[in-house]
Amino acid sequence: MELDSFLTESKWQILKIIAKNPSSPVIISKIIKTSVAYVSQQLKILEAANIVTKKRTGAVDKGKPRSVYSISQDFVYLTILTKENPTKKKLTPNNHQKVTLNIWAIDNSDIHYYLEKLYWKLESHIKNINGIYLDSNHDKPKVIILSNNKKINDITKTFLKENNKIIDIEIMQDSKSNKIENNFYTIFESSNNSKLNMVTNNES
């Protein structure tokens, strides 16, 4: 199946919503401003293609969703047009690949290399990090790392000595996670991070 032709704009809008937060057809229809019947039809097509899955909530009260839809699994559909390897490929990314793809999706390509370099310096301590975010609302992009681990602070200090003209870094304690804003771009987020459904990627 050629996903680039299958995933029309309407399907893509639906998928972006449920990728961030499992949702009911009613909620989705309100967000994209269309009928519940149309959303339900598109969801059935996506479910038949094993892209989304439906879960019954068990709710019986009026106004409560009886089912919600979520992404069946994370995947990446690559379209590569180079002289060496022109190809289209569907991949199931591991955690390292997800971080790399999140970095590559940032508009400012000048900082890609440095963000990747920073991540690989932090990678062996990733279990002690709850989130890595990018705040682009400054002249110099700022990376915010959510962690209580002292070693993370030492690593970033060394990194900044070598690359201090490119990006800034702020270490934020887990107890201050409520300061992570919705417009911060998510580079990495641990599965147990309570901010998981609150912080969204806006560069899509």
Tokens of 23: 């949702």
Over the chain (204 residues), what is each successive 10-residue block's mean pLDDT?
A: 81 95 95 96 95 85 80 92 92 94 96 97 95 92 95 95 88 82 89 50 42
Tokens of 16: 């972006």
Tokens of 79: 């379209």
Q: Which of 130, 121, 129 is closest to 161 using CA atoms? A: 121
SS (H, E, C) 108-126: CHHHHHHHHHHHHHHHHHH
pLDDT score of 99:
97
CA distance 66 to 7: 26
pLDDT score of 57:
80
pLDDT score of 195:
46
Task: For the chain, list the domains and their CATH numbers.
Answer: 3-71 (1.10.10.10), 95-189 (3.30.460)
